[in-house]
Structure 1
Amino acid sequence: MRLDVGGGKKRRKGYTSIDVTDYGEKNIVGDFREMTFNDVSVVRSFFLLEHFGRGEAIKVLQQWHSWIKEGGILWVAVPDFEYICKDFDINPYWITRHTFGSQGEDAWAFHLDGWYEDKIRELFPALGFEIFEIKRFKTRRYLPNIEVRAKKVKPNPEALERYLKKYPN
């Protein structure tokens, strides 16, 4: 099974699509955090992690780790906060929207945390994801993003503890 989590309106061929919204094409409408899957070969999630605060995003990644079979793949994309900051002068209105979300009527339309390459390179292995591809790309209006592909491996609790200590309460 290959899952596309938080895919919005689009349904990707070869994937079971899950989204909390009821618009567009998808296989499952609901909150994925209340679901359980086993033996998933790929979890694909583009532009979802930034909608969670730091602690909740870690729980989400741990949940996906539990779904993915040994050697399976996590494939995610997030706005690249580091390059967003560098590109601010290019188009401050779109950069601000890309950083903080559309902030529409839906509660999910807000971005609650920033992601950048060094953070991903430290956090993902701690949670049991061995990165084998990481690349930057730009979408419409030249907005900077990071795409990551990682293989499921054993988590490193000590590394996670070191990571968490960097964020004082």
Structure 2
Amino acid sequence: MTETEALSRALIEEAARKSGLIWLQGPAGPSRALWHVWHEGAVCLVGGGAGEQPLDGLGLEDGGTATVTVRSKDKGGRLVTFTARVSELPAGGEAWGAAVAELKGKRLNAVDAEGIEERWARECVVLRLEPRGDGVEPLPDGSLAAVPVASPATTRKAMPAALPRLLRKRRR
């Protein structure tokens, strides 16, 4: 391993350890924000089941590649982007158990904290994203702003201009 590769690997590891959120782009579909943990030299994440982060539409497959962008925890900006090899950890295996133990500690607001491992084994997929040896990608010059993914979620309409005056009259 060259010095440049070692520095790239150290940058990826430090950024991924400190950030709780990555942007993942598979061969298909737009980038998606996902929570993760850094475990034994790779980003590990769980998803795909009911109540977990969605992985559908990304085109991730065992042995494929994905582009991972790690954001800054305090400012939210892009720190590093790298290409990773995707591997699906088989449920119940030794590597799966170690990754799930780390993921379970970072999973917030789990409905069934006691039976989460069994549910993940039954319904979800645990992925390991190991950085490839080609280092980090250079930071882009442009904005890279993208159109948001279609969603049934809506926002409130603008507040009527007269509403503040009406509320003041009621208080009197």
The TM-score, its normalising length taken from structure 2, stands at 0.31
The TM-score, its normalising length taken from structure 1, stands at 0.32
| Larger RCO (CA under 8 A, 6+ residues apart) | 2
Report the structure, 1 or 2, having the larger helix content: 1
When Rg is computed on C-alpha atoms for both structures, the one with the higher figure is 2
